[in-house]
Each structure stands twice: as structure tokens, then as C-alpha cells.
Structure 1
Amino acid sequence: MAAIQALRGTKDILPEEVGYWQTVEDTARQIFGRAMYSEIRPPIFEQTELFARGIGEATDVVGKEMYSFSDRGDRSITLRPEFTAGVARAYIERKLFAQGGLQRLWYGGPAFRYERPQAGRQRQFHQIGIESFGSSDARADVEVIALATDLLQTLGLKSLSLYINSVGQNADRQQYRAALVEYLTPYQNELDPDSQDRLTRNPMRILDSKDERTQEIVADAPSILEYLGTESKAHFDRVQQLLTDLGIAYRLNPRLVRGLDYYTHTAFEIQSDDLGAQATVCGGGRYDGLVEQLGGPSTPAVGWALGMERLIILLQQLQPISASVPDFYLVSKGERAENRAMFLARELRAAGLKVELDLSGSAFGKQFKRADRSGASICLVLGESEVENATVKLKWMATQQEEAIAQTELLSRTDELRQQMLR
């Protein structure tokens, strides 16, 4: 019988890689917590209508990439393709707006899109992100950008570039869409098939097409920055000034529109020179109309998400993360010794020490070899004689020195032994 394999586009995160994930998650939790962002955990699946209304039916995500199905109640259900719509739904349904002031939220977990798997992009992928509800001030835009920058810099990443743009407000975009369609229409037959389809449905998405000929055509397309109204321009100028004041370098990219319909004003991406074609590590922007569009009160909002898989690729290039090693490796032989060893292991773990208990039942010689491979500082040895005398033998792996002490003394010397291990 053939072994069952993981589905294409999914990946097992094995123990030797998990350390990178934990480093990112722990660092994010600290940085977000210091900025007073609270964690939220929305459901993995939602009503399909949420994403169709929130993300936009004309987007590739809704049109081509969502995992949707009918449940036993004949309801259309979708595995979340991104977090923002679900967090906005929770903000409305749970009346977080009634608490007043800003709601600063962060999240992390899996999301799902049916697309071609490649390096750093899976059909089940993972994101960490933040959403800030309640402020239309440009400072909110810059706060979330600064937090993304702080996170990536704290993780030690280099060769990063911040690209920013403004997609303005709805009136600005309507004027720009008309100008863009007018410019592109004469080239319609030269555009790639996806861009030809987008010309009538979502022409701004043509700007970030990866097709070489389409890129040549849009190189001379009008810039959305030329169509910003007075309010939109003032907002974007303020964002740029604040970034400059904070010493955060950025580059303007008038073709940066992101792939979702809900963006307004600021849109941004942080890209890495070390990721090849899939260069974007983090992306986001402002979405002032989304909450109202989903049935809530008019609420300005801004946020971003980063892809964990791409981030892990960069961290693995940066430096290896050491595997966890035990403080003690506990070997035992004989039924009474094995039973006592389980008790001691639990007591030591309760005292904050990492203990690996050998469960092989093999000869001491083989257990000692495994103790050496484990990287433990101390091997604890329990045989029948140690059980009789209520002692335990300490064997320092680096020097092979041995010492027999009372078992009760071992538990009282944990702080001293921990300090000795650090020398």
C-alpha cells in the first residue's frame, strides 16, 4: 500500500525549522506588545460573502484563488485567503468600536490560496500582521510601517527596501482608472491574457503584471500620483515627511497598487534583494472604507501582513538557529532505577531545567553514547546501587568527571548546576 503524502502546496514544518518560526513569533509578540497591540485570533473559515465583499469580486484572490465549499447546511464557506477581512468582521460583530479610541490588533496563523506553489509561496501559507482601527491620521500609517521595519531589523534582516505609493480616495481612483484605460486600450491586443481581462474589470492591477511586454507598455502609463486630490496629496506628503523624520528610508513606486480592492491612500511593500522574483516580504496599507463596506460604522484603518515562509527563507540565509539541547541527559537501568528516573526527570523539569530521559532500556554504554550526541552538559546516571543508596551519579560530559550526590541534594543544587553549565 502506497504511503499517503502531503497535498501539493502544503509543507510540514519540521523540528529543525520550527526554531525560526518561534523566533519570529516571539520577537513579534514583544515588539507589538510594547506598542500596545493586542492579539486577535479570528476563525480559519468564514462566509464566502465576507471575502467577496471585502476583498473584491474582481480580484484574482476572489476570482481564482479561494478555497470555497458548501457545508452541510448548504452555506458557502471559504478558508481565509487573508486576515484583514476577518479581523474587520470581528471588529464589527464584537463591537470593538464601542470601546472608543484606537483598536490596535495583531494576528498570526495559516491562510489558504490556490496558486502555483514555489519558493516561499504555498497553498497553505502563514502570515503575521497588524491592523489599527480608528485613526485617519498619517501617523497611524507611519506607526504600522515603523513596526514592520522594527520587526525585520530586530530579526537581523538586511538588503530590505521600503516602497510606498498612494492610491488616493475613490474619486481619485475613478479619474485615474479612466485615464489608465484610455492609455492601455490601444495596446489591448499586446497585453498578456490576464491583463486583457483586467482592462475592463480591474485595470489598476495591470500595473503590477509580471509579463515582460505588459511591463514595457505600462512603463509609460500615467502615474496615479498625478490624479491625487488635495486631501489625498496632503496625507501622502505627511506620510513621507514622518518617514523621513524617523530616518526610515523609502522609495516611491507609483505602480504599487497591491492586489486587493479595499486599499485607500497609502500602499506599501517591503522587499528583499535576497528573494529573487518573489521579493515582497511585507505588504499593506490604508483601507478606510472596508469596515463600513462590511456593515460597520465608518472607521479609518491601516495595517499590513508579512509572509512567514518568505521570512523564514531569509532567516535561514542569515544564520542557523541552534537546536535545543538538554541540560541533563538521564540514563537508567533496572526497573526501580527507571521508575525513579522518571520521578527525577519530572522534578528537574519543574525546576526549569531541560531534561531528556532515555527510554531505550539498552545497556549503559549505548545510553552514554546517546547522551554524548544530545549535547547535554551533564549525564545523570541511575542504576540499582544508586536506588539503594538514594544517590545519583553526575557525569560532566565535557570533562568526563563524575560525582555521586544524594538525590535530594540534586534538587536543591539546580541553581548552582545551572551556573556551572554556563561557564
Structure 2
Amino acid sequence: MALQAPEGTKDLLPEEAKFWTHFKAVATDVFGRYGYEPIETPVFEQTDLFVRGIGEATDVVSKEMFTAISGENLKKLREGGTVKAKSRLSLRPEGTAGVVRAVVQHDLVPQGAAPVKLVYAGPMFRAERPQKGRQRQFNQVGIECLGAEEPSVDAEGIIMLMRFFATIGIPVESTALLVNSMGCDACRPAYRDAVKAYMDAHADELCDECKRRAEINPLRAFDCKNPACAAVMEHAPKITDHLCDDCRDHYDAVKTYLSGAGLSYVEDPKLVRGLDYYTRTVFEVQVTEGMGSQNAIGGGGRYDKLAEEVGGRPTPGFGFALGYERCVLALEAAGCEFPATQACDFFVACVDDSVRAEAFSIMQAFRDAGLTGDMDHQGRSLKSQFKLAGKMGAALVAVLGPDELDRGTVTIRNMRAHREREVEIAALKNFLSCFGGEPYGAPIPNIDDVFGQLEVE
């Protein structure tokens, strides 16, 4: 049996890979309008980064991380040895911790500096049970803003995420924006104690995992998918009843900004997200129809303590991530079609092998001008070459045979208008040479100009 992709992974074949490229380009454009610049971090980090940053009690850290280990270190462990902390590595389960680590390591927010705004895109890894909308390797786009604690940053991030969803084609009316506040170090401890007391009083109704959570981090119980636990936690104390004045003011300001931007939202006091680093604002965007239980397509919040957790100065932060695969499902649920594949501008067809060298040269002239196209590389008949050109959607087909080559000409056929004309090869190449170039040449020619402006002298 032929080898297949690992369980929980998916190949992005050309059509979807092109859409993923388009998806990232739209994100870069939309978020770039708000001042976000690109950053790339490694796909694996020291395991301690995720333990300290995300939280040891989270399912992500306790159950779902993939450990990455070299053959040499694996041999040490098998022989009863130990591995240094810097060599204990894990594939990244999310993007925020790595970006914050990079900001701290490279001092991207010096004391008193303006906040840094960063956008990233790439694969994440979690050892979850594979199902529709949930894979072990999945792609995310995310943003992080570090160095500003004003509620306007939170609102700006939420607004631009909703703008992105609209731009990529997900109908606003098919989504729901949920918001909440997680409080801060001044008010959350008392709230945690209140939730723990409530869980202790209902311990006989909770699953074993939630009983464990009650001792480590009771707020994680709000994420439990067990229906019985969800029913119990529905009546647990609400964080919004325990916020300190500063957190309440911050939360109210975020809501005011959102309302001012015309965004509808739902306050959900049970929304805690799945990671321990959040403080104050948390939010999630869900699709209301067609995606079942895996309906969250993006979310995030504020994390004012994370930079300190990874060894940096106190630096407030806000960020979010959106799942590419979930967005694709949302688009499909809404009946949206992906953007059409890039059109093929030209195809060079050879009557026989004697003209192949010149045909190859013509093909390169088209490409150097910035146009997209190809030629036959398998010795097909001329009829089969035209079929291939049609399958590729070529706008122009340049046909070269021995007679044309003797005359120094090539026949250009406009496949859309069903017209053709014979043009001089030298004139064609001279025309195409006016475009392209390094590093940035003249604009790519209009494909109709290639046909319309060339005449045999």
C-alpha cells in the first residue's frame, strides 16, 4: 500500500494552495491598513515557552502538544539520561507565545516606544482527535499588538478581524461576535475562588477532568464539552459580576467602540477561551449555521502578563488568530466559491521537434514579460497540444512550424476571439522585451495588446 499523509493532516493541492496564498494576501492587506507588519517565527520552540505562557493546566499543554526531539536526545532518554531544557522542544500549538518570545528576545518594544503590531501566518500542531474542522496540523493567521493597554487596541483588533471576514467572503449575517472580560490580577482570584466553591458544591455532577480542573484552574471547566458539566457551569458565578472598577471601565470602553463602529455583539460571561494567558478582553467569532459544533472561526483577547511569563518586561498585549480550515468550511457553508484560478495567458505549440528550440525561446520571452504560460514537454501531437492549451485556459496560442520558422514568423491565435495572425518573431520578442525586467519592470502587457499591436511588416 502506498504511503499516505499522517492522520489529522491534509495536503493543500494546487487549487486550495492557491486559495491559501490568496487568503494570506488578503489578511496582509487588510491588517496592513491598521499598521500590522509581518513576522515569521520557528514552528518549534522550547517546551517551557508553552508551559509558562499557555498554562500547564490547559488541554493544549497537558494533552495536545507534539514533542520534537533529535535522534541523539532520544537515544539519551532511552539510555536513562536527561535532556537539557533548551533541547526540550515542541511544535507550536498556537502562534502568540512564539511571537511574544520574539518581541522580548529582540526588544521590539523598548521602554517608552510605540507599540509593535505584527501579523503571522503558518501551520500549528495539536494532537487532537481528527474530525471535520479540527486537524492535527492546521493553518492560522494571527496578529499581535504589544506595548499598548488602551481598550481602543482591543476594539480595533476585533473590528479589523470582522472586516477581514467580510473581505474574504464570509457573510457578516452568518456570524456571531461573542465578547467577555476575564478580569485581572486584582479581581480574578476572588472570582476563581467563587467558581471553585461552586464546583465543589456540585462535584458529584462533574466529570473527573473538571474535578481536577477545580483544583488547578477552575475557569477551564467552562470549556468542558461534557453536556452534564456544561449544564452545571451554566449556573456558575459570572465574571462580569466580579470585575474591579478598572476592568469594568475597560470592558465598557471596548463595547462602546464596537457599538460606535456599527458591530453587533453578544456578551457571553462563560467565554474564557482555552488558554491561561488572557486578561480582560476575550472574544470569539462563530458561524451560526452549517458548521455544527466546530463553528468558531477566530478569536483572541488581551494578555497583559504574557511578556513577563516568558522573561520580559511588563508589556501589555492583545492578539487574535483565525483558522484557515474553519474559514474554508464557513465559506462552503455560505455557498461561496473560491476565486478563479489564475488564467493562463499563452501556450506555445510546436508543429514538430525541429522548431522546439525557437518555441522554447518564445516561451521564455512571454514569461520574462510577466505573463503566465507553458508549452508541451511530452512530444504530443499538435491536436493534443491545442487540447492541452484549452484545458489550461490559454488566452493566446503561439503556433510555430518549419515553414513559419523559415520565414521568421509565428502564428498567434486569439482563443477568445477565434482570430489569428502571423507576426514576426523578432517583433514579438521586441514587443515583449518592453515589459518585465528586474527587480520591478514595466506593467505586464494586456494580453489583447500582444495580439492587437503586432503586424507583419
Do both proteins adopt the same fold according to a TM-score greater than 0.5, normalized to the shorter chain?
A: yes
Deviation at 1:374, TM superposition (A): 1.9
Aligned length in residues = 421
Q: Which moved more, 1:88-97 or 1:399-408?
A: 399-408
Aligned pair 1:123/2:136, yes or no? yes
Report the equivalent of 1:58. Answer: 57
Deviation at 1:19, TM superposition (A): 2.7
Deviation at 1:168, TM superposition (A): 0.3
On the 8 A contact 1:333/1:361 being kept in 2, the answer is no
Aligned pair partner of 1:190 in 184, 202, 205 = 205
On the 8 A contact 1:345/1:357 being kept in 2, the answer is yes
User: How big is each residue's C-alpha offset from its partner over 1:162-220, in whole Å with a ceiling of 9 and x where there is no partner?
Assistant: 10000000232211111111112232122233222212122111112222111211121
Aligned residue type for 1:319: E
Q: Which moved more, 1:316-325 or 1:128-137?
A: 316-325
Aligned pair 1:298/2:314, yes or no? yes
On the 8 A contact 2:279/2:303 being kept in 1, the answer is yes
Aligned pair 1:85/2:69, yes or no? no
Residues 6 and 421 of structure 1: CA distance in aligned 2, closer, same or farther (over 3 Å): farther
Residues 401 and 112 of structure 1: CA distance in aligned 2, closer, same or farther (over 3 Å): same
How far apart, CA to CA, are the structure 2 residues paired with 1:181 and 1:263? Answer: 19
Aligned pair 1:38/2:21, yes or no? no
Aligned pair 1:371/2:389, yes or no? yes
Give the SS at the match of 1:85.
helix
Report the equivalent of 2:426. Answer: 408
Report the equivalent of 1:237. Answer: 252
Give the SS at the match of 1:171.
coil
Deviation at 1:421, TM superposition (A): 8.3
On the 8 A contact 2:154/2:301 being kept in 1, the answer is yes
User: How big is each residue's C-alpha offset from its partner over 1:226-284, in whole Å with a ceiling of 9 and x where there is no partner?
Assistant: 01011111110111111111111111000000111110000000111232111111110
Report the equivalent of 1:76. Answer: 88
Aligned pair partner of 1:216 in 206, 231, 244 = 231
Aligned residue type for 1:138: P
Residues 13 and 416 of structure 1: CA distance in aligned 2, closer, same or farther (over 3 Å): closer
Deviation at 1:420, TM superposition (A): 7.8
Give the SS at the match of 1:339.
helix
Q: TM-score normalized by structure 2?
A: 0.88
How far apart, CA to CA, are the structure 2 residues paired with 1:402 and 1:242? Answer: 60
Report the equivalent of 1:205. Answer: 220
How far apart, CA to CA, are the structure 1 residues paired with 2:143 and 2:245? Answer: 28
Report the equivalent of 2:344. Answer: 326
Aligned residue type for 1:193: D
How far apart, CA to CA, are the structure 2 residues paired with 1:416 and 1:65? Answer: 51
Give the SS at the match of 1:17.
helix
Deviation at 1:376, TM superposition (A): 1.2
Report the equivalent of 2:361. Answer: 343
Residues 302 and 11 of structure 1: CA distance in aligned 2, closer, same or farther (over 3 Å): same
Aligned pair 1:27/2:26, yes or no? yes
Aligned pair 1:246/2:248, yes or no? no
Q: Which moved more, 1:316-325 or 1:24-33?
A: 316-325
What percentage of residue pairs aligned between the two structures are identical?
Answer: 39
Give the SS at the match of 1:96.
coil
Aligned pair partner of 2:302 in 275, 283, 286 = 286
On the 8 A contact 1:347/1:411 being kept in 2, the answer is yes
Deviation at 1:223, TM superposition (A): 0.4
Report the equivalent of 2:168. Answer: 155
On the 8 A contact 2:44/2:68 being kept in 1, the answer is no
Aligned residue type for 2:216: R
On the 8 A contact 2:414/2:451 being kept in 1, the answer is no
On the 8 A contact 2:395/2:447 being kept in 1, the answer is no
Structure 2 unmatched ranges of 5 or more: 74-82, 433-444, 453-457
Deviation at 1:361, TM superposition (A): 1.3
User: How big is each residue's C-alpha offset from its partner over 1:83-130, in whole Å with a ceiling of 9 and x where there is no partner?
Assistant: 111111111111112271110111010111100111121101111000
Give the SS at the match of 2:348.
strand
Aligned pair 1:138/2:151, yes or no? yes
Aligned residue type for 2:304: D
How far apart, CA to CA, are the structure 1 residues paired with 2:384 and 2:275? Answer: 59
How far apart, CA to CA, are the structure 2 residues paired with 1:250 and 1:192? Answer: 32
Q: Which moved more, 1:391-400 or 1:173-182?
A: 391-400
Residues 33 and 421 of structure 1: CA distance in aligned 2, closer, same or farther (over 3 Å): farther
Aligned pair 1:108/2:121, yes or no? yes
How far apart, CA to CA, are the structure 2 residues paired with 1:113 and 1:92? Answer: 25
Q: Which moved more, 1:108-117 or 1:27-36?
A: 27-36
Q: TM-score normalized by structure 1?
A: 0.95
Deviation at 1:34, TM superposition (A): 1.6
Give the SS at the match of 2:186.
helix
